[in-house]
Amino acid sequence: MRTLEARMKAYRFDHLDGLDGLRQREEADPAPQRGEVLVRVHAVSLNFRDLAMVRGRYPRRCLPGLIPTSDAAGEVVAVGSGVEAFAVGDRVMGAFHPRWFGGEMPSTIARDSYGAESDGWLCELKALSQEALVRLPDALSYEAGCTLPCAGLTAWTALTGPTPIRAGHTVLVQGSGGVSIFALQLARAVGATVIATTSSAAKAEQLKALGAAQVVNYAEDAAWGNSVRTLTGGRGVDRVVEVGGPGAIAQSLRAVAQGGEIASIGFLSTENPGIDFFQLKMSGASFRNITVGDRAGLLALSRAVAATGVQPMIDRVFGFDDAKAAFAHLESGAHVGKVVIRVGG
């Protein structure tokens, strides 16, 4: 049992100019206040945004000195007064947006952003509101469950939305990162056909093993959007899960079907040739910006994962003391699926 003087381990980015700013330290254990629970963090997953912040590529304000990462799973070890949603021993995961419960996005969305303007999860203990947590699906380990709040929910939001993807639809996913792999798995779970892109022959085989019907190598095929359209008999795909950003949008517009949708998620590419307005207009497609999703969506995703048996794709699990190596592995781009840091022993 930890004493009153016990001190947890936590990481903070002392400065936002590279991975060298990530330092481990000891800090006083947090205590849950009224309406809060104390979570012993067991696993944390990394996202591209975690790197973008320290590389100066994040589109929102980032403050130095914060605990990084937005996604974690753990166990409730104490509860404050007035807590009814959870009890000690419950397995939980944090919602990416801790105060976006459903409906319209709250005005506090930026200030609440883990790792950017508020402390994140790369620590042994975290106290937070009971409303900012969701129960972990029984079939998932902490390592698997910690991948759901951002990557899993982003893919879920991209595939559901105003017109949910269903059997008979075709989905295009880009690359082999966490969101793309989740989108592939979830789309296949409802019977949709998935076409994937990659720059690696080895990754192409992995994507096919996960259920991709076809894989296009964008490094070898500059006009890969046209190739994707050809694979659909000239119709185009119903949904593009767009993670490439400005450097990929032109090809996504060529790949999407008339009346389809581009779900805009990320900005992996840095080049920005601009968008051809007339190409966008003539595509007849909808363009929907995705900001992960709300707590209600995370609950829906959890139920879907439990019902379908989807198991998150984990590329590699690092120990807590090797957190910097985990960030470096993510930055290398060698991963397929999620990079996870195990916090507990």
CA atoms within 13 A on the CB side of 324: 11
Q: How do residues 139-148 score in pLDDT, each as one tens digit? A: 999 999 999 9
Question: Is residue 340 predicted with pLDDT exceeding 90?
Answer: yes
Least confident of 6-10, 67-71, 165-169: 6-10
In this model, does residue 278 exceed pLDDT 80?
Answer: no
Residue 112, burial from CB neighbour count under 10 angstroms (0-12, 13-18, 19+): middle
> In Å, how far are 51, 99, 182 from 102, measured between CA atoms?
28, 9, 22
Average of per-residue pLDDT across 88-115: 95
| Mean pLDDT, residues 195-216 taken together | 96
Token match 């937005």: residue? 70
pLDDT of residue 285: 84
Environment class of residue 4 by beta-carbon count within 10 Å: exposed (0-12), middle (13-18) or buried (19+)? exposed
Average pLDDT, the chain: 93
Q: What is the pLDDT of residue 57?
A: 84
Share of the chain above pLDDT 90, in %: 86
* Whether the model pTM is above 0.85: yes
pLDDT at 2 over 90: no
The tens digit of pLDDT for each residue in 35-60 reads 999 999 999 999 999 999 998 888 88
For residue 120, give both structure tokens.
């994140």
| Ordered structural domains, the chain, with CATH | 7-147+312-342 (3.90.180.10), 153-289 (3.40.50.720)
pLDDT at 268 over 80: no
pLDDT value for 342? 98
